[in-house]
Copies of this chain bind each other. A is one copy, B any other.
Amino acid sequence: MNEKEIITFRAYGGCYASRNNGAVEGAKKGAVAVVIRSINLAHDDHPHTGGMTYEDGVEKIPSAAISTNDAEYIRTKYKSQRLRLLLDLNCQTLDPKPSHNVIGEIRGSQFPNKIITVGGHLDSWDIGEGAHDDGAGIVHSIEALRILKSLGYRPKHTLRVVLFMNEENGNMGGTTYASWVKQREEEHIAAIESDRGGFSPRGFDVDGSQYYLSLLKSFMPLFEPYELYRFEKGFGGVDIMPLKEHFQDIALFGFVPDSQRYFDFHHAATDVFEAVNKRELELGAASIACLIYLLDKNFTIPQGTKHRQRK
């Protein structure tokens, strides 16, 4: 990963393909297996797992990741020498089993069929607990609505928590949810996702029209005393992304916490409960509750546009 990228997700984006496409690209060049340096910034002994793909018509060769320390050891000790590696892998792809998104909501008092969702994903990689990815997003989402409920807030729009099942391995939860709401002829005006860990909040990205960016930026003075500064065009989240295919004018908001420590834990055995700081987690939930409140209060259908499903 490129250490010079301040936003570590950009560094991840820059080398994600080595894991995802390594087996296909390797096989095309005649490789019998592919081994990558784990995609994380820390120099440690933990291999980081994650999604990888095969392609029909290309040989399905084994694919593995080793820790950054191990990769560094091999690189510096053996340099350009030819090496033989014995791979002993026992991973396998089992048949899919039915599972479920988990949904809860507070019905809107004025526009019950206009929905603001907030969510994260329930599934995680097996080698850790998935505390940051995405236990934090699950807690953020439930806690945000619990805060509003505990304050006795009666929303105008329906506020819905969606805990998505299976983001990591094909985004089944996100695609299924989007199809489901289309069938129900619901109208989604905004969706918020937390899937970048439970660290100190810095702001929100928005993937949507200029109206939504302006609306988000108009909230800045309210967030700044709480040290949230970043309100920009950007990425919403994998789980909520399929909603864009159905709703033309929806805005997707991605919660942006401090990203510096995220890849120390991402998809690794280190992503455990103890790695999440309670206060940082709570500040994230409070920030998301505020955004939901502000959207619910201030959202109006922009002139000249109509929130509608795509054809």
Please give the residue numbers on chain A whose beta carbons come within 8 Å of chain B beta carbons, in ascending order: 3, 6-7, 41-43, 200, 202, 225-227, 229-230, 258, 260-261, 264, 277-280, 283
Residues from chain B with a CB closer than 8 A to the CB of A6 are: 225-227, 283
List the B side residues contacting A280 at CB < 8 Å. 260-261
Chain B's closest residue to A44 (CB) is: B278
Tell me how far the C-beta of A258 lies from the nearest C-beta in chain B, rounded to whole angstroms: 5
Considering the complex, give the chain B residue whose CB is closest to the CB of A282. B3
Q: In the complex, which residue of chain B has the Cβ closest to the Cβ of A224?
A: B229
A69 nearest CB across to chain B (Å): 13
Alpha-carbon distance between A202 and B201 when the two chains are bound, in angstroms: 12
Distance A227 CA – B257 CA, assembled complex (angstroms): 11
Given contacts A6-B227, A200-B200, A230-B227, are A277 and B258 in contact (CB under 8 A)? no
> In the assembly, how many copies of this chain are there?
2
Apart from A200-B258, A261-B280, what are 7 other A-B pairs with CB-CB below 8 Å? A6-B225, A6-B226, A6-B227, A43-B278, A202-B227, A227-B230, A264-B277
A229–B227 Cα distance when bound, in Å, is 9
Closest to A229 in B: B229
Of all A-B residue pairs in the complex, the 10 with the closest CB atoms, nearest first, are: A229-B229, A200-B258, A200-B260, A6-B226, A260-B280, A260-B279, A261-B277, A6-B227, A41-B279, A258-B258
Q: Can you list 26 A-B pairs, Cβ within 8 angstroms, ordered by A? A: A3-B279, A6-B225, A6-B226, A6-B227, A6-B283, A7-B227, A41-B279, A42-B278, A42-B279, A43-B278, A200-B200, A200-B258, A200-B260, A202-B227, A227-B230, A227-B258, A229-B229, A258-B258, A260-B277, A260-B279, A260-B280, A260-B283, A261-B277, A261-B279, A261-B280, A264-B277
CB distance from A87 to the nearest CB of B (A): 30
Contacts of A283 in B (CB 8 A): 6, 260
Identify the interface centre among A42, A278, A283: most chain B CB within 10 Å of its CB. Answer: A278
